Amino acid sequence: MSLPRVAAFTDTYLPTVNGVTYTVRAWRDRWEQLGGRMDVVYPDSDHDPGVGEHPVGSVPFPFYEGFRLGAPTVPDAVGRVDVVHAHTPFGVGLGGLRHARAVEAPLVASYHTPSGEYAAYLSVNGTVERLIRGTAAAYERWFLDRVAAVVVPSRATGRHVRETLGVRTPVEVVQNGVDTDTFRPVGADHERAFRERHDLPAGPLVGYTGRHGYEKDLPVLVEAADGLDATVVLAGDGPARESLEAAAEDVDADVRFLGFLPREELPAFYSTLDVFAFPSPVETQGLVALEANACGTPVAGVDAGALSDTIDEGENGYTASAGDPDALRETIGRTLAERDRLREHCLDRREETSVERAVETLRAVYEDVLDCA
């Protein structure tokens, strides 16, 4: 059976660096490797579009550096498709809704991130923040109730969509998937080279990579580093970095900030770590945790959001109560102590978390909505 032709509409795409961008690109690449076609509509940027990539007019989003607001338009080149997949309910995603109606194709929507998480960036006080969160949730419910299926990356996110938002549309869990060809153990020589390149000492390394956003609760990790017998390294950047660096000066710990790492350097980063520490309570899947696992590195995370599902206790890591530095410190210590055993379990799980497995599940979702159309 031939693969349906798909048009993906997303408000974040290359060259922006985040989990949504990588997921859209990885799904598209795998879809085309299987012989299908998946066009991508995205906000115009510095990215040089290739075949099947269609930029639309956009403007910078003033409250979120690097993000652009795309116009809800549909390029003529997209044409007739079998399935429309919206990776956002805003801007470009509205263009996806329009196109699905115009060509009478089923619309599938991915729920990557609750937009209410970013209310603090847009508000001046708690009352305004609550108003923005409520408005965002109502809008998300409106949009998602107009699609044929909602795709979520974890069971926890599915519960949020069904129970918190009250969406009536069928919800399907499709993990974002890890590029296991890229994310794999790099070997001792590459690990030593990574340490030398970033002037990291010998001994245990505990680290995090990702956006330094306030919602990620990274101060908990900095506090958990106090007295920890390991060097703590944070890669990435974001609005909270300056305050995190200031907080790191007040703890009895070796905490280092590596800044942004190019994607090709991440496998060496993950492989060099003994433990990946993840204090964020707001993840819809926590793709970086799975990337770390694919490189053989266990995760010390929090029992909140998708990490409650992503981390299997004693298999690929351990969890602590969210917002508790002492509990996270203890969990990091336990994970360090069991690192060798946990590493084997992480490597055994590589196939089930691969992007290939994810796209096979996505294909079944597309076929189901086409059967019901």
**234 within 8 A of 244, measured Cβ to Cβ:** yes
Residue 123 has pLDDT above 70, yes or no: no
Give the C-alpha separation, 140 to 160, whole Å: 12
Does residue 152 form part of some domain? yes
**39 within 8 A of 52, measured Cβ to Cβ:** yes
Q: Do 247 and 218 lie in a common domain?
A: yes
> So what's the pLDDT on residue 124?
45
> So what's the pLDDT on residue 120?
52
Give the C-alpha separation, 117 to 139, whole Å: 14
Q: Do 136 and 201 lie in a common domain?
A: no
Task: Determine the structural domain holding residue 131 and report its residue range.
Answer: 6-177+354-372
Q: How far is CA 65 from the centre of its chain?
A: 17
Q: Do 314 and 231 lie in a common domain?
A: yes
Element (H, E) at 343: helix 339-348
Q: Do 145 and 254 lie in a common domain?
A: no
Does residue 156 form part of some domain? yes
The angle at the Cα of 109, spanning 14 to 114, to the nearest 5 degrees, equals 75
Q: Do 143 and 194 lie in a common domain?
A: no
Residue 274: pLDDT band (50, 70, 90) is very high
Q: Do 203 and 290 lie in a common domain?
A: yes
279-288 mean pLDDT = 91
Residue 79 has pLDDT above 50, yes or no: yes
Does residue 1 form part of some domain? no
Structural tokens at position 307: 């990490």
Does residue 183 form part of some domain? no
Q: Do 47 and 172 lie in a common domain?
A: yes
Of 2 and 223, the one with more pLDDT: 223
Does residue 168 form part of some domain? yes
Q: How far is CA 43 from the centre of its chain?
A: 19
Strand order in the sheet with 53-56: 53-56, 38-43, 6-9, 83-86, 107-110, 149-152, 171-173
Q: Do 248 and 318 lie in a common domain?
A: yes
CA atoms within 13 A on the CB side of 233: 25
Q: Do 237 and 343 lie in a common domain?
A: yes
Q: Do 244 and 171 lie in a common domain?
A: no
Q: Do 94 and 214 lie in a common domain?
A: no
Cα distances (angstroms) measured from residue 78 to each of 13, 226, 257:
17, 54, 43
Per-residue DSSP letters for 14-78? TTS-SHHHHHHHHHHHHHHHTT--EEEEEE--S----TTEEEE-EEE-TTSTT-EEEPS---GGG
Domain count, the chain: 2
144-169 mean pLDDT = 96
Element (H, E) at 184: none
22-42 mean pLDDT = 96
pLDDT tens figures, 102-115 = 999 999 999 998 76
pLDDT tens figures, 296-350 = 999 999 999 889 999 999 999 999 999 999 999 999 999 999 999 999 999 999 9
The CATH number of the domain holding residue 312 is 3.40.50.2000
Structural tokens at position 15: 């060259």
Mean model confidence pLDDT for the chain: 93
Q: Do 136 and 240 lie in a common domain?
A: no
Residue 18: pLDDT band (50, 70, 90) is confident
Residue 204 has pLDDT above 80, yes or no: yes
